[in-house]
Structure 1
Amino acid sequence: MNLRRKLAVSISALALTIGGGVLTAPPAAADEPCASNKLCLYRSTLYRTMEFETINTHNCWWLGDYNLDMHWSGIQSYRNNLSVKATLWNYNGVQEWDTTAYATISPGGKSSDSGTFRFTNSEAVCTGTAKPWDYFG
């Protein structure tokens, strides 16, 4: 290798060493895994901050008990690894449930950014054919 080439390689290596900290991207926040037989709901996008997980295929839960209702940030991402759908429901505030599902998550469904109104403002999640009025009155 001639002198010019050695000098160029040395300068390049030095520049990479000095500037390496600037060029290195910060580590991405790791997503939290969801087991193959669970429904997992997250308070953050990109499958971070898992607040709820279940293997139960016929039950209902208040999302507020898991920091996932409209008073928090709602469901921002989800994975449904159950064999049944998960249904989101809205409580209309006068001791009645809306009889139409707010949103559904199909078996195998997932979203890393589900921050739409129906996901951020739902008040209960049910799995399978369970209905919130059968559980909460």
Structure 2
Amino acid sequence: MNLRRKIAVTVSAVAMTVGGGILTAPPAAADEPCASNKLCLYRSTLYRTMEFSTGSVSDCWWLDAYNLGGPPWSGIKSYRNNLPVKSTLWYYYGSAGWSSAPVATIGVGGASSNTTGGHVAFADSETVCTGDAKPWDHL
């Protein structure tokens, strides 16, 4: 085999090895699965950094306790609702009380990998409730 052919074969082998390594590299961050019969709320888009998970079908929680409330936290960036009931987000106006209706609803089977371009409620809400629970009855 002449020198040019040996160099060409070597370069080809190196290129295939490097190219194959790039094609099989794992993703930088994998999503965190949400179990069946759970509501899962994530601090990051693409279902990463799960901060809250519940299987309760009638209760409410302060999102600040899970680093998911409005400022200074970054809010809910993605979610999955595998519960058999809806989930609702609520505002609390201090002495003025609670919002009169949910500011957002996550339906049964609802999911979003990125809430940042949508409804502001996912960034600013203070509580999440499951089923027909209301924050003034549970918090």
Instruction: Identify the TM-score tier after normalising by the shorter chain.
Output: 0.7 to 0.9
**Superposed displacement of residue 5, structure 1:** 6.5
**Superposed displacement of residue 23, structure 1:** 4.5
**Superposed displacement of residue 8, structure 1:** 3.3
Aligned to 1:45: 45
* Structure 1 runs not aligned, ≥5 long: none
Once structures 1 and 2 are overlaid, which stretch shifts more, 32-41 or 115-124?
A: 115-124
Equivalences, count: 134
Q: Whole-Å Cα distance in 2 between the matches of residues 23 and 128 of structure 1?
A: 46
Percent identity at matched positions? 63
Aligned to 1:87: 88
Q: Whole-Å Cα distance in 2 between the matches of residues 83 and 14 of structure 1?
A: 53
SS state of the match for residue 94, structure 1? helix
TM-score (norm 1): 0.86
Q: Whole-Å Cα distance in 2 between the matches of residues 85 and 68 of structure 1?
A: 19
**Superposed displacement of residue 6, structure 1:** 6.3
RMSD over aligned Cα atoms: 2.4
* Structure 2 runs not aligned, ≥5 long: none
For residues 62-77 of structure 1, what are the structure 2 equivalents within 5 Å?
62-70=62-70, 71-77=72-78
Q: Residues 27-57 of structure 1: CA distance to partner in whole angstroms, max 9, x if unpaired?
A: 3201111101100000011111111000000
